A and B are shown apart, each in its own frame.
Chain A
Amino acid sequence: MPEAALELRGLTKHFGASVTVGPIDLIVRQGEFVTLLGPSGCGKTTTLNMIGGFVTPDAGGIHLAGSPVETLPPWRRDLGIVFQDYALFPHRTVAENIGFGLRMRRVGRAEIARRVYEAMQLVRLDGLGDRRPGQLSGGQRQRVALARALVIRPSLLLLDEPLSNLDLKLREEMRIEISTLQRRLGIAALFVTHDQEEALTMSDRIAVMRGGRIEQLGSAREIYEAPASAFVAGFIGSTNLIRGSVIAPRQPGGTVRVDTGAGPAMIPIVGDLPDGGAVLLMIRPERLKLASPGAAPEGTNAWSAQVVRTIYLGGRMEVRLRLRDGGTAIAYAVNEGETDWDEGEMVDAWFRPRDAWVIPGPAEDSDAQATNCLR
């Protein structure tokens, strides 16, 4: 097995007495696209800066392609970095910008010209080599920055919120373009963003960060469907989080009963759930279905609820429900032109056992607002 493109071991940085980033352990495999996702201030940019060599870690190791780099200055780390503000050299042409890293590596002039030309074709900038960054559009600047980072064939591509300065449509295009390029070149990439949609669409694996640590590391599907904490569940997508407690008995391989204020639920066992322990029951709005009272399918969990509001969203309806204990929940109903749920109507909100996910532990105070959160 080849060495990992990047390995972080216990990487830690203290800011004063109270703020700490890390310890962070993370492996980015060859050719893999890993995203650090989190709200601002979660430590993702600090982590990136430590890898880049712009912030000195207080503890821990950074290995790039198998060799330790934590004592190397930035210019010896062989990284391609794309910055949020692109950081192009305004006094140099597009071609000079892209060729900069090669020139620093003392590559011959003809070779530089050839590779710059290739890189410009790669990012679809043909013919713009003589322009200056000031004459380019935002998307073009983004491509120059990308080409400049890729042309040196770095062992790792670091992307620091590269899309946040683009407008929505361009952002969606660049998302696909960057990940297509990354796959085609087979280059390992570490991507930093606070945008969950970017993370979901681009990444092989996502590391959700919070308070300076990685809260969960997994594929987009794992993060979305099996979040490790209420924070992760609430940060990605909309979700219903309902407090409950585990009721004995439970059999191995069987199901467990969770009692909530909205009603009981039977769900498959995942991991170790302490009997009687407090848990959060997560049901994504698209998995929460509605039926007339008593009409929920056999073998599902059905809770009686009242429709508070329905919001027409074109392809789907967002239905806001009041549960038995007064809590709220959201259900997305596909707009099939058949059913309309009237406000005030009593319904059965139902979900299959496997559509619920149990997050162990009681809700932390800071998660209180994430309970039944409406994002």
Chain B
Amino acid sequence: MSRKILWSVVALIYAFMLAPILITAAVSFNAVERSYFPPRGFSLHWWSMAMTPQWTGPFLFSLKLAALSAVATAVLGLPLALALRWPSFRGRGTLQALTLGPLVLPSLVTGIALLQFLTLAGVGNWIGLPALVIGHVVICLPFMVRTLSISLDSIPINAEIAAASLGASRLRVLIEVTLPLARSGGGAGMIFAFISSFDDVNLALFVARPGQTPLTVQIMQFLEYGFSPTLAALSIISLLVPLALVALFGRLVGIGNFIYQDHGHA
């Protein structure tokens, strides 16, 4: 009995999450230029519209931006997480606060601040891809450092000491023991960075430029003139492609345990 209730609740939650997506998918097959549901007629017209350079350009740009942001976040987050772990590190508290600070800042504010800062610093020409990467790294770094720290904390206390006693120099200990064991945290952080960069519109609104516009901003601009089933098709594409990439990456890095449940390393 209670099992039935449990499954009904689960089904309801899934319906609540998936129904809008299914409706959107259905809308993209309309034969008329209105977003009807249920769709009227069947046509792939809006899908072919979504494949035109007007959309594929920003889509590919978004993928590139997300990938660059994920890598840059990892490259910066790793030394940070390692430094925060160092017990005798003096600026630890300060650095921790600075690292986790952007978490409470709306990305809209970060976007405005970044725009003003780049302009004032005389590097206004960074607006576009470089500024977007910088902004997304700032937003994602706190998560990266958190997930990395959790991974690093799960390393058996003496494993690194044991490696040193067996003849591994500091660098070798890092490469042989620390980094492999921090992999799942780093992978989770990268996936998070990739997704939030791909989804971000708040910050991108301020520091994108024509020709270097992510898909989200392009959609926003298009929405000012109305809605067409093209957007529905686009939504599905921009849902599935990153999902597939993330799944592939997660498989390579072995992320599952980290996101769902950490079995710990015994």
User: A residues within 8 A CB of B169?
Assistant: 73, 75
Q: Most chain-B Cβ atoms within 10 A of its Cβ — which of A79, A81, A91?
A: A91
CA A101 to CA B165, docked complex, whole Å = 8
Q: Distance in Å from the Cβ of B171 to the closest Cβ of chain A?
A: 10
B177 touches A89 (CB 8 A): yes
User: A residues within 8 A CB of B32?
Assistant: none
Within 8 A of A (CB), among B146-196: 156-159, 161-169, 172, 176-177, 180-181
B181 touches A90 (CB 8 A): yes
Q: Distance in Å from the Cβ of A173 to the closest Cβ of chain B?
A: 21
How many B residues touch A, CB cutoff 8 Å?
Answer: 20
Q: Distance in Å from the Cβ of A80 to the closest Cβ of chain B?
A: 8
A105 touches B167 (CB 8 A): yes
Q: Distance in Å from the Cβ of B165 to the closest Cβ of chain A?
A: 4
Residue-wise, chain A 99-121 has the 8 Å CB interface mask toward B (1 for contact) of: 01100110000000000000000
Contacts A87-B157, A89-B177, A134-B266; A100 near B163 (Cβ below 8 A): yes
A89 touches B159 (CB 8 A): yes
Within 8 A of B (CB), among A73-103: 73-81, 83-91, 100-101
CA A104 to CA B165, docked complex, whole Å = 10
* Complex partner residue of B157 from A52, A85, A89, A104, CB under 8 angstroms: A85
Q: Distance in Å from the Cβ of B150 to the closest Cβ of chain A?
A: 15
B166 touches A148 (CB 8 A): yes
B172 touches A104 (CB 8 A): yes
Sort chain A's interface into a size bin.
20 to 34
User: B residues within 8 A CB of A134?
Assistant: 265-266
Chain B's closest residue to A100 (CB) is: B166
A83 touches B167 (CB 8 A): no
User: B residues within 8 A CB of A77?
Assistant: 165
Chain B's closest residue to A141 (CB) is: B266
Contacts A87-B159, A90-B181, A91-B181; A79 near B165 (Cβ below 8 A): yes
Q: Most chain-B Cβ atoms within 10 A of its Cβ — which of A75, A80, A105?
A: A75
A152 touches B166 (CB 8 A): yes
User: A residues within 8 A CB of B168?
Assistant: 75, 100, 104
Asked whether any CB of chain B lies closer than 8 Å to the CB of A54, the reply is yes
Known: A53-B164, A83-B161, A83-B162. 6 other contacts (CB 8 A): A52-B161, A73-B164, A89-B163, A90-B181, A91-B180, A152-B166
B: which residues have CB within 8 A of A? 156-159, 161-169, 172, 176-177, 180-181, 265-266
